[in-house]
Structure 1
């Protein structure tokens, strides 16, 4: 998942993300053969001769070839991108907000549909192409391993948890499917946990290096929502843990299946309740909400929230600077009369106290002082 950034930075995030990238054809063919053998060994069904114990009455099921869910998800993101482009541009902050970008303040105000919609929004053509390409490569593999229904559940649940993590950890608007794509990585690692021999034969240690590189780049490169990536990774693993593989070498008992599913559900429910009910005495709650209000031009409420955030976190320069901007914007956005002058002066003085470098606030204060005491 990306926060709004210039398009050239998008190239960095998925450098090396694809499992089969830069592999010789013969090597890739061997890896596909190993995966195919997994299906053939574990996906046997009896024919109409149940008493035939010779093995001749068992045949491998047909392995699905077309990744229907993966292609459908890509098609949806392309259609949504076209809609954004035709209605103001996919890199326009207000357009992204209108169509469902992740915004912590709005989510905490009850717009819970924003926990899913950011997955299908992309900021720019480069962002869309990279995520679509990555989704096709990794999504096709997961759909092949888990089946269509499980793959869809894993993708959506991972994106949901990715947005929740971003809601808790970042006040910035963010969009993109990369959190859900990291969730597919999580599902891939669960497959490795259940089938370590095949996993090592197909992917080796390279997959861990690829994941580590992407997580590190998410931290090092500015404006990449690494919290969403980490949340998606965990969400994908937990969802795969709860669902299980359609064909297990060591099949789970019915009680074990239920226990695993309940554990995954409890994890999701607990994290959701925690993320959607922040403490009203937390500086993050007031800071995130204030930034959201400021972006929506609700300057008066934004100033209240951000000043409160500054009171709770006085050593945070970003909070102080944003609170000063909100106070200045609240005064500057309204016509000032003689009766309002004293209140306006107090707000501007507070803004300058928080950020003495805010020249616009000093200039406006000078003009108000000319109105008289």
Structure 2
């Protein structure tokens, strides 16, 4: 099989795929988290497909492309991708990620609900980071559990959406053990950094989220064929938010050092895993 081109939108990919089929070029669509890739069944047809691609990209709205699906009567092409795009919201949520991603998502929601209803004060709870040194290692969970605490709806929505999106990719492609390692490593590292630089009063999954951002972006750069990836444009935008947090112009109190160290932890883990071919 030969990989021809990646489209960001399913409709464009499907239209071009159907047009190729009409030209007797056998192909399929492979779906990754951020793109739809045209794959040729027969490498000998690559010159024909490349010429067709050049013409398609120059003017994808031509009637011959818009009518290609109707003419081919194609209802079976790329069934996984089409079903993925058309499933209901709950099915999409469930299928995108695995048990670890979903479990931590639910745990964070439950804890936030308890905080919102005033059941306990998060910063003085058994889930908060240590308030002083030396650390009591009999309560070592405190190195990790601040990542589960969120203090506003915007805070938890932002973190959990990225956790589900990127954590789901890592768990599906690299396994739950890799995601667990990334979570533990980045949570401990980012929490320690925030404590030593700023103090003990912080919480949130943002350090882990930035670790996922760094891991997915760098792994995708090191292995172009990997489905674990993050587009350069999205990486730059999220890096910009990190910088804005340090400039202190955002209308929120951010754990900036947790974000930075989490990002570095994710980049480091991606590099090590790639080098060790894990």
- Shorter-chain TM range is 0.5 to 0.7
CA 1:132–1:203: 2 relative to 1, 3 Å: closer
CA 1:199–1:68: 2 relative to 1, 3 Å: closer
- Show CA shifts across 1:142-189 (max 9, x none): 222311111121122111111011112112500101101111112213
Asked whether 1:100 is paired with 2:127, we answer: yes
For residues 230 and 130 of structure 1, the distance between their equivalents in structure 2, rounded to whole angstroms, comes to: 17
Mark the runs of 5 or more structure 1 residues left unpaired by the alignment: 1-22, 38-63, 258-373
For residues 12 and 131 of structure 2, the distance between their equivalents in structure 1, rounded to whole angstroms, comes to: 45
Shift of 1:118: 0.3
The aligned residue for residue 303 of structure 1 is none
Ranked by relative contact order (alpha carbons within 8 Å, sequence separation 6 or more), the top structure is 1
Residues 193-208 of structure 1: pairs in structure 2 closer than 5 A? 193-196=221-224, 203-208=230-235
Secondary structure at 1:158 match in 2: helix
Q: Is the 8 A contact 1:154 1:240 kept in 2?
A: no
Match of 2:107 among 76, 79, 99: 76
Shift of 1:97: 1.9
The aligned residue for residue 69 of structure 2 is none
Match of 1:225 among 240, 244, 255: 255
Aligned pairs, how many? 195
Shift of 1:198: 5.6
For residues 134 and 163 of structure 1, the distance between their equivalents in structure 2, rounded to whole angstroms, comes to: 19
For residues 27 and 237 of structure 1, the distance between their equivalents in structure 2, rounded to whole angstroms, comes to: 33
- TM-score of the two chains, using structure 2 as the length reference: 0.58
The aligned residue for residue 156 of structure 2 is 128
Shift of 1:34: 8.1
For residues 197 and 124 of structure 1, the distance between their equivalents in structure 2, rounded to whole angstroms, comes to: 38
- Show CA shifts across 1:57-107 (max 9, x none): xxxxxxx85422111110111122233344545xx4xx4321322355256
Mark the runs of 5 or more structure 2 residues left unpaired by the alignment: 1-7, 14-28, 38-94
- TM-score of the two chains, using structure 1 as the length reference: 0.45
For residues 109 and 27 of structure 1, the distance between their equivalents in structure 2, rounded to whole angstroms, comes to: 57
Residues 265-284 of structure 1: pairs in structure 2 closer than 5 A? none
The aligned residue for residue 171 of structure 1 is 199
Q: Is the 8 A contact 1:100 1:114 kept in 2?
A: yes
Structure 1 runs of 4+ off > 4 angstroms? 23-31, 33-37, 106-111, 197-200
The aligned residue for residue 32 of structure 2 is 32
For residues 128 and 137 of structure 1, the distance between their equivalents in structure 2, rounded to whole angstroms, comes to: 14
Query: Which structure has the bigger radius of gyration?
Result: 1
For residues 134 and 238 of structure 2, the distance between their equivalents in structure 1, rounded to whole angstroms, comes to: 29
The aligned residue for residue 234 of structure 1 is 264
CA 1:251–1:164: 2 relative to 1, 3 Å: closer
